[in-house]
Chains A and B, each alone.
Chain A
Amino acid sequence: MMELYLGYLEDNFYRFKPSPNSMSSASAQFATSRRIGIYEPNRQISMWGDSFKADSSQNTGASTIVEADAKHDNRLGDIPLESPGPSKKYDQEANKPADKVLRRLAQNREAARKSRLRKKAYVQQLESSRLKLSQLEQELEHAKQQGVYVGGHLGDSSLGLSGTVNSGVAAFEMEYGHWVEEQNRQTGELRAALQAHVSDIELRMLVESGMSHYDNLFHIKAIAAKSDVFYLMSGMWKTPAERFFLWIGGFRPSELLKVLSPQLEPLTEQQVVAVCNLQQSSQQAEDALSQGMDKLQQTLAETLTSDPLGASGVATYMGQMANAMGKLEGLVNFVNQADHLRQQTLQQMYKILTTRQAARGLLVLGDYFQRLRALSSLWTARPHEPA
């Protein structure tokens, strides 16, 4: 049996000698197969099979094909369809109409080819869109697991409110993303510089960049705090493992110093004392802020608890709410103060250390955060039983 493939008939048409009877069915076949071929390949092959079987009884073949014809859209309506009727004329005038037929068939062939190419292009486009869609779905899933805030906000409250909040939050998330990228780049640079034993002058430049990069972070956080302090406090902008260490919307300075100090040796005795003092001061300031937060929780709770039966009236209720709103706004102050503490601690370390030590310190910090983020990725991607 001959191998059937898309376009077989067209390609091998020259093999089929135009003869009185087979001409009509062949040409009808041809036209139909063209159309079937484009939209339903499976059907086409079975149709071909049918039509070849029906060769001996051509009427059957032709009628089968004509049937199929009716079921398809006439997408290629501009191309004339051969019908059994008029072709009978060609029997009588063999040469002239043969040219016309040949030409027409060639046109059909051409059209079929173009159509096939179009189909191919369309299918390829579909395929790539499908791929992109599945990629996006994966990203979304990944982001959901990491707890990207923007996605989570979509179901919330009034559209108006979430619109404005989202823009502040979205802006921060974007900037923070850039910040992390730059942080990673700088960390790499520091690593390379220290390995290559570059001069102190060059190191100093890197250290200054690193310090001002942290300043940038506190700056964008301050803006975000005004927009949505609860978002910052939630730590949802950080990776899960980082979030575990969250303290008032960021890292705890004394913890960071504990990570840092062992990696900075050798230190002079004076430096050791200074670092020790700094750690203690930081701890004291952190404690004071934490106690302030506790106090805020307490006063907020007190502001909201009262007369659940509503006997005091609406005015009292509204007053309480207004009061509570004021208290909540105090949270912005806390986040700002905590960030200020972080900044001061970093600055003080910079003062205590030599340039080389500071470079190493920044590298240690950058590396540490990178590891935490990597850990978070691993954790998110771990195989586990779905809930």
Chain B
Amino acid sequence: MQQAIPCNGGRTWFAQTAASNGVVHMAVNDRPSVDGPSTSSSSSDAGGGGGGGGMVRLVAENPVLVVGRRGCCMCHVVKRLLLGLGVNPAVFEVAEDAEAALVAELAEIAAAAGGVQQQVLFPAVFIGGRLVGGLDRLMAVHISGDLVPILKEAGALWL
């Protein structure tokens, strides 16, 4: 079930240092074409769409990436679950108006990476560059005991 991760090597992982709360949020500097202002000190918007390369890079560079709506509580659930497992997920919060475009982009990325064809719903979880799915998919994978191995393989967990 697990495949080799298309990773750029260890260097990019250390480029994002863990914030004090353990969650890595996209800093504005990483994204050259971000127009929207940060709503809080630790999160950023995809105000006017991130530009094609941005998302691909995010997905590829982060062992775990959670993409969700701003202020969504389900996104919070995903975060807490991953944190509880000892993972530092990268979180990308999207504003309502940019959602549709982002969904399309993510669907492309997911298709390119192969794996199970599924609709992109928020919150969307990428592990090792591949789309795992939404919250219920994540739960199912966790309950069946497959989540931790995938995380380890993606380099998100060391134990």
Contact with A along B39-55 (1 / 0, CB 8 A): 00000000000000000
Q: Is A25 an interface residue (CB 8 A)?
A: no
Contact with B along A273-296 (1 / 0, CB 8 A): 010011001101101110111011
Q: Which of A277-323 contact B (CB under 8 A)?
A: 277-278, 281-282, 284-285, 287-289, 291-293, 295-296, 299
The verdict on A284 contacting B77 (CB below 8 Å), with A337-B136, A340-B136 known, is no
Q: Is A111 an interface residue (CB 8 A)?
A: no
Q: Is B85 an interface residue (CB 8 A)?
A: yes
Give chain A nearest CB distance to B109 CB in angstroms: 25
CA distance A285 to B82 in the complex (A): 10
Give chain B nearest CB distance to A128 CB in angstroms: 54
Stretch from A33-41, A341-349, A370-378 at the B interface: A341-349
Give chain A nearest CB distance to B150 CB in angstroms: 13
CB pair A345–B73 under 8 Å, yes or no, is no
Q: Is A163 an interface residue (CB 8 A)?
A: no
Stretch from B4-12, B25-33, B111-119, B139-147 at the A interface: B139-147
B interface secondary structure, majority: helix
Task: Tell me the number of A-to-B contacts counted with CB atoms below 8 Å.
Answer: 67
Give chain A nearest CB distance to B63 CB in angstroms: 19
User: With a CB–CB cut-off of 8 A, which chain B residues contact A334?
Assistant: 73
Contact with A along B101-137 (1 / 0, CB 8 A): 0000000000000000000000000000000000110
The residue that B145 contacts in the complex, of A277, A285, A289, with Cβ under 8 A, is A277
CB pair A344–B77 under 8 Å, yes or no, is no
CA distance A336 to B145 in the complex (A): 21
The residue that B71 contacts in the complex, of A293, A299, A337, with Cβ under 8 A, is A299
CB pair A340–B139 under 8 Å, yes or no, is yes
User: With a CB–CB cut-off of 8 A, which chain B residues contact A289?
Assistant: 77
CB pair A288–B84 under 8 Å, yes or no, is yes
Q: Is A46 an interface residue (CB 8 A)?
A: no
CB pair B139–A337 under 8 Å, yes or no, is yes
Q: Is B23 an interface residue (CB 8 A)?
A: no
CB pair B77–A337 under 8 Å, yes or no, is yes
Give chain B nearest CB distance to A162 CB in angstroms: 28
The residue that A281 contacts in the complex, of B78, B80, B145, with Cβ under 8 A, is B145
CA distance A341 to B77 in the complex (A): 13
Tally of B interface residues using CB under 8 Å: 20
CB pair A292–B143 under 8 Å, yes or no, is no
Q: Is A333 an interface residue (CB 8 A)?
A: yes
Q: Is A330 an interface residue (CB 8 A)?
A: yes
CB pair A295–B139 under 8 Å, yes or no, is no
Q: Is B76 an interface residue (CB 8 A)?
A: yes
Contact with A along B73-95 (1 / 0, CB 8 A): 11011101100110000000000
CB pair A295–B73 under 8 Å, yes or no, is yes
Give chain B nearest CB distance to A343 CB in angstroms: 9
The residue that B80 contacts in the complex, of A287, A330, A348, with Cβ under 8 A, is A287
CA distance A299 to B73 in the complex (A): 9
CA distance A292 to B80 in the complex (A): 8
Closest chain B residue to A345 by CB distance?
A: B143
Give chain A nearest CB distance to B33 CB in angstroms: 29
CA distance A333 to B73 in the complex (A): 10
Give chain A nearest CB distance to B52 CB in angstroms: 31
The verdict on A292 contacting B142 (CB below 8 Å), with A284-B85, A287-B84, A340-B136 known, is no
The verdict on A344 contacting B140 (CB below 8 Å), with A284-B84, A292-B80, A296-B73 known, is yes
User: With a CB–CB cut-off of 8 A, which chain A residues contact B71?
Assistant: 299
User: With a CB–CB cut-off of 8 A, which chain A residues contact B139?
Assistant: 285, 337, 340-341, 344
CA distance A340 to B84 in the complex (A): 20
CB pair A288–B81 under 8 Å, yes or no, is yes
CA distance A327 to B73 in the complex (A): 9
CA distance A17 to B22 in the complex (A): 115
CB pair B143–A285 under 8 Å, yes or no, is yes
The residue that A291 contacts in the complex, of B76, B136, B143, B147, with Cβ under 8 A, is B76
User: With a CB–CB cut-off of 8 A, which chain A residues contact B84?
Assistant: 284, 287-288
The residue that A292 contacts in the complex, of B73, B85, B145, B147, with Cβ under 8 A, is B73
Give residues in B with beta carbon < 8 Å to A. 71-74, 76-78, 80-81, 84-85, 135-136, 139-140, 142-145, 147
**16 A-B pairs in the complex with CB atoms less than 8 angstroms apart:** A278-B145, A282-B143, A284-B85, A285-B81, A287-B80, A288-B78, A291-B76, A292-B80, A330-B72, A330-B73, A340-B136, A341-B143, A344-B140, A347-B143, A348-B145, A351-B144
Q: Which 3 A-B pairs have the closest CB atoms?
A: A292-B77, A288-B81, A344-B143
Extra A-B contacts (9), CB below 8 Å, given A284-B81, A330-B74, A340-B140: A281-B143, A285-B143, A295-B76, A333-B74, A334-B73, A337-B77, A337-B139, A348-B145, A351-B144
